[in-house]
């Protein structure tokens, strides 16, 4: 399933809108229902108004009624580094980690940071966001 998730993210990468940073990012989330939703980063000339690819993918899933994320694949390309320049292993920012935490068990969520279908690193959300605050913290 990792390969399919990475392929979906890579297939969306060209849709990224990053005219200011040149740092294109795409993500694909696998939900509990087995559906895959993709998202890309969308920058804005008013920098804080942009949205990350991971949050975009999660928002798309949630807007379709999904409430549980099982895994996410993240890919990137640095357009300013030259045509076709592949990104490194791109991890989710702090805000994205917290958004993922809202819709996943941190011990179970697989975060796949990929350069290609065959070259990726995988961690749990708990490894990326230890001692996290989640919905059950408010119970």
- The residues annotated as belonging to the active site are 54
The total of other beta-carbon atoms located within 10 Å of residue 94's CB is 9
Q: Which tokens is 19 given?
A: 């005219």
Cα–Cα distances in angstroms (integers) from residue 87 to residues 4, 5, 18, 57, 97, in the given order: 19, 17, 14, 19, 20
Q: Please give the Cα distance from 114 to 119 (Å, whole number).
A: 6
Task: Report the length, in residues, of the chain.
Answer: 139
């Amino acid at each position: 399933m990792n390969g399919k998730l990475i392929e979906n993210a890579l297939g969306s990468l060209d849709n990224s809108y990053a005219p200011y940073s040149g740092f294109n990012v795409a993500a694909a989330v696998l939900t509990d229902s087995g559906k895959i939703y993709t998202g890309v980063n969308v920058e804005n000339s008013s920098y804080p108004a942009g949205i990350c690819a991971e949050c975009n993918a999660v928002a798309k899933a949630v807007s379709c009624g999904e409430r549980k994320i099982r895994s996410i694949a993240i890919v990137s390309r640095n357009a300013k580094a030259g045509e076709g320049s592949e990104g490194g292993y791109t991890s989710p920012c702090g805000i994205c980690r917290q958004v993922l935490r809202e819709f996943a068990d941190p011990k179970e969520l697989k975060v796949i940071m990929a350069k290609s279908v065959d070259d990726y690193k995988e961690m749990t959300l708990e490894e990326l966001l230890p001692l996290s605050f989640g919905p059950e913290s408010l119970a």
